Amino acid sequence: MRIAFLGLGIMGKPMAQNLVKAGHEVRVWNRSSGKIVGGAHGAATPADAAKDAEVVWLCVSDTKAVEEVLFGNHGAAQSLRKDAIVVDSSTILPSASVKFAERVRAKGADFVDAPVTGSKTGAESGQLIFIVGAKQETFDRLQPLFAAMGKSAVRVGENGKGLAAKLSMNLMIALTFEGFAEALVLAKKQGVDLEPLMSLISQSMVRSGVVDYKAPFVLSRDFTANFPMRLMHKDIHLMLEAARQNGVKLPGLETVDRVYETSRHEGNSELDYAATLTTLEKASGVSER
Amino acid sequence: MRIAFLGLGIMGKPMAQNLVKAGHEVRVWNRSSGKIVGGAHGAATPADAAKDAEVVWLCVSDTKAVEEVLFGNHGAAQSLRKDAIVVDSSTILPSASVKFAERVRAKGADFVDAPVTGSKTGAESGQLIFIVGAKQETFDRLQPLFAAMGKSAVRVGENGKGLAAKLSMNLMIALTFEGFAEALVLAKKQGVDLEPLMSLISQSMVRSGVVDYKAPFVLSRDFTANFPMRLMHKDIHLMLEAARQNGVKLPGLETVDRVYETSRHEGNSELDYAATLTTLEKASGVSER
């Protein structure tokens, strides 16, 4: 297929590369120049990239960037084919995405929200999971592209539902990690040996993907960003805003937001979100090891 | 070995039964009479049961019950052999357990805290996990008994550490479930299809033992008690008291405690702790299905 890929960040670049590898004709564009995807053509503007494209795929940082890339000067909407599909893998507010979908539909094209779970490594190895809000028919047409970049794509409803589901899943990550961090602080302050405790956790129903993944880093005090606290905090704000718009109360998440706020003030924004543990430790007078 | 087993509740009775099956000589006692364990002798009092026993195993409901069974009139301490080991599988406050350990040691015997994870089914099938605070030597001597009742026993430190670790693990369960419940409310209120969402959860790092176990019940709205909210709430109070005693701040758990408090007022105490979901749903105006 002829694909425009807009946004070559940590996730977008390997995603575009995997589309090229799968044999698609890809034109790429990035806000800052100098990003190259082997085998893909470069484009000067989103409109330039989107010209003649069957699918226009976005992976940018926030709502404002999506709006700019789609509807700004030289935005993709200016050259969009009537039968094109715009797919947005950015993590933004569901209600904003629904409005973008309406504006794209008004031009005759279709729109899909398809945020992903999976790290940079998952993007590189084509192991992403796409969480999709789309018409069933459009979802079906995109299967070869999902398959080129991910191990799985699941449709959870119409426009905006992919993002709603993605935010709900990240909410689970945030609270599961908070539980792990509070448990560690409570155990450490009482003198529990952490190594056997981790063994217990891994063999009991307390186990989780989040803890499996984070525990080795946490125990070796390696808080290098894999998923930076800044980005998780951004997602938490999206969850709280989506909750507000829908009259939903999220008491646990509100508390976690306050922990992140404190951690931000402590200068941890560029570390992994796991560094919120150090904020809880400080509040409880736990020494670092 | 000659074992006194004190407390034949939901967990204690199958545990005692498994000791009998493994060929041990077991004398049992329960506060209310009429409980029978096939192949075990009944005893009129804890002191009667503990007479000549090499190991005195307790599994009762709370701190007061442990004190009464050990040190009350006709308590086990009255007939304790000097070389006996007292093992307590009750979930009580670590600091209280440490004091009981000191009083038992003063009589020449040894003391072990060995709370368990695992349900009634796990107790029946001998699949419990013991979380142990004990001297290494005493822990080693108890191996045949742990093996008779459980699939695993892990020593996490000296007296009181088993309980500290158990409470920390239950804290993780409480917060992991809270995350799942808040995510469900946020997703439902936004119209996400729950079936594909559950599929996404199970194939991503958001998966957890807690969600694997609880999701089928939650989605079929079956809140029959497996782990009653009342008991989880009791454990949460123990965690918060242990935290207070040790100067630990647990903001997430404090929030979850308030959710449980509201849920208790709504009459859910005898339901499974998963019924806290209905409390979050009510607060957010989510209809039941």
* pLDDT at A118 (0 to 100): 83
**pLDDT above 90 as % of chain B:** 95
Mean residue pLDDT across chain A? 96
Cα torsion for B90, B239, A215, B195, to the nearest 10°?
90
- Tell me, yes or no, whether A234 lies in a domain: yes
Does residue B8 sit in the same domain as residue B81?
A: yes
- What is the distance in angstroms between the Cα of A11 and the nearest Cα belonging to chain B? 17
Q: Check whether B289 has a pLDDT greater than 60.
A: no
Interval B159-206: pLDDT, tens: 999 999 999 999 999 999 999 999 999 999 999 999 999 999 999 999
At A232, which CATH number?
1.10.1040.10
Please say which residue of B114, B136, B157 terminates a domain.
B157
Which one of B97, B171, B190 makes the best mutation probe of the A interface by having the most chain A beta carbons within 10 Å? Answer: B190
Chain A contacts of B189, Cβ < 8 Å?
Answer: 246-248
| Chain B, window 145-184: residues with a beta carbon less than 8 angstroms from a chain A beta carbon | 152, 154-158, 160-161, 164-165, 167-169, 171-176, 178-180, 182-184
What's the mean pLDDT in A104-121?
94
DSSP-derived letter for residue B289 is -
Task: Tell me, yes or no, whether A222 lies in a domain.
Answer: yes
Q: Does residue A151 carry a catalytic annotation? A: no
Q: Does residue A288 or residue A137 have the better pLDDT?
A: A137
Q: What pLDDT is stored for residue A107 in this prediction?
A: 94
Residue A216 has pLDDT above 60, yes or no: yes
What is the spatial distance between Cα B48 and Cα B78, in angstroms, rounded to a whole number?
9
Say if A170 falls within a structural domain: yes
Q: Which two tokens stand for residue B288?
A: 């039941």
Does a structural domain hold residue B289? no
Domain endpoint, select from B113, B131, B157: B157
Closest residue in chain B to residue A190, using alpha carbons only: B164
Judged by CB atoms closer than 8 Å, whether chains meet at A259 and B247 is answered as no
Beta carbons of B231 and B153 less than 8 angstroms apart: no
Q: Which CATH number does the domain housing residue B129 bear?
A: 3.40.50.720
Rounded CA-CA distance B92/B160 in Å is: 10
Dihedral angle computed from the Cα positions of residues B249, B255, B260 and B262, in that order, rounded to the nearest 10 degrees = 130
pLDDT band at B255 (very low <50, low <70, confident <90, very high): very high
In angstroms, what separates the C-alpha of A31 from chain B's closest C-alpha? 31
pLDDT of residue B33: 85
Q: Name chain B contacts of A169, Cβ cutoff 8 Å.
A: 183, 197, 200-201, 204, 206
Tell me the mean pLDDT in the region B256-276: 98
Angle at B248 between CA A238 and CA A183, to 5 degrees: 60
Q: What is the average pLDDT across A190-202? A: 96
Question: What's the burial of B266, exposed, middle or buried (CB within 10 Å: 0-12/13-18/19+)?
Answer: middle
With H, G, I as helix, E, B as strand and everything else as coil, classify residue A113. strand
Inter-chain contact A175–B173, Cβ cutoff 8 Å? no
**Residue B288 scores a pLDDT above 80:** no
Enumerate the β-bridge partners of residue B133: B113, B157
B271 and B193 in a single domain? The answer is yes
Q: Is B216 in the same domain as B126?
A: no
Structural domain that includes position B185: 164-284
A193 lies in some domain: yes
Residue A59 pLDDT greater than 90, yes or no: yes
* Number of domain units in chain A: 2
Confidence grade of residue A288 (pLDDT, cut at 50, 70, 90):
low
Q: Give yes or no: residues B150 and B169 share one domain.
A: no
pLDDT on residue A287: 77
> Directed axis angle between helix B161-189 and helix B229-245, to 10°?
120
Average pLDDT of the segment spanning A258-278: 98
**Shared-domain flag, residues B48 and B188:** no
Q: Point out the residue among A129, A171, A189 whose CB comes nearest to the CB of B186.
A: A171
The pTM (predicted TM-score) of the whole model is 0.96
* Statement to judge: residues A187 and A228 lie in one domain: yes
Q: B166 and B117 in contact (C-beta within 8 Å)?
A: yes
- The strand pairing partners of B150, in sequence order, are B128
- Domain end, chosen from B122, B157, B192, is at B157
**Which residue among B176, B200, B249 sits closest to A176, beta carbon to beta carbon?**
B176
Q: What integer pLDDT is reported at residue A63 of this predicted model? A: 95
- Six token digits for residue B68: 């009464």
What is the predicted ipTM? Answer: 0.96
Q: What is the mean pLDDT of residues A134-161?
A: 98
Between CA B186 and CA B94 the distance in angstroms is 37
B145 and B169 together in one domain: no
Whether residue A144 is found in the same domain as residue A12: yes
Is residue B193 within 8 A of residue A161, CB to CB? The reply is yes
pLDDT of the residue at A120: 85
What is the residue-averaged pLDDT of chain B? 96
**Domain presence at residue A254:** yes
